[in-house]
Amino acid sequence: MERPEILRREIRALIFDQYGTIVDMQQGLTAAVEPFLYAKGWAGNANSFVTWWRRTHFENSMIDALCDRGHTPYRQIGHRAVSQVMDRCGFSYTQDEVRWLVSEIETLTPFPDVIGALHRLREAGYKLVILSNGDRDMLEAAAPHIGFPFDRVISVQEAGYFKPHWKTYAKAEELIGLDRSACLFVANHAFDCVGAKSWGMRTAFIDRRRRPFGETPHQPDLIVRDFAELAAAMVEPLGAAS
């Protein structure tokens, strides 16, 4: 891993994943779907339903990128994933219900430690950017619920592929206007850190779930427990210059 003092010296921008890194996707969606599933008479666990939904969505988005036959919108991938999971659960549903469930992604709020840390990073002079698999309009709708004015919010629609395709990080580098080596990509997902690191960005892994990163040549430059620890690593300690 890179020493924090070297990162502080060389990094000019932090680029964040949104879903699951900035906003609490698992808990937020679980709270939204629980009464819906109860009304359907499903006896399963709402948290498991959300896990299946997210895994199915991820699998379908990776298939979409690998097939390379044109970029399918995130929302459309989400509709397919939710429908498949509800079929798996064995209850009936309408397309309006599918649309409503997917739209809940746009209302998710940040983890408690995020906003304070973002303000601290901004005060330290970093450019703060989001690079998300979400569609442009979904990211615009989510902005008021996040409540922090990022310097730029980039959808992978600009690149035409889902992360971790290298073109998504290349497009972010182009739009930000900084060399990739001056960018620290921050994510709660190992696959996203691997993609950014393989493109040449530095990476920080937010290890909220206390899980091993895995065997890969693209190890993160920084591993932290949450955003408070990220800010502590990236902001010069008081009195350090004296």
Q: Among 67, 117, 144, 90, which residue's Cα sits nearest to residue 230? A: 117
Residue 241 scores a pLDDT above 70: no
224 beta partners: 206
- At 163-174, the pLDDT tens digits run 999 999 999 999
What is each CA distance from 53 to 47, 48, 77, 86, 119, in whole angstroms? 10, 8, 11, 9, 32
Assigned CATH topology for domain 25-107: DNA polymerase; domain 1 (1.10.150)
Domain boundaries along the sequence of the chain? 4-24+108-234, 25-107
What is each CA distance from 161 to 132, 192, 201, 224, 242, in whole angstroms? 11, 13, 18, 28, 47
Assigned CATH topology for domain 4-24+108-234: Rossmann fold (3.40.50)
Provide mean pLDDT across the span 197-221: 94
Calpha distance 241→91 (Å, rounded): 62
By the 8 A CB rule, do 74 and 61 touch? yes
- At 65-79, the pLDDT tens digits run 999 999 999 999 999
Calpha distance 131→180 (Å, rounded): 14
Identify which has the larger pLDDT, 119 or 6.
Answer: 119
95 beta partners: none
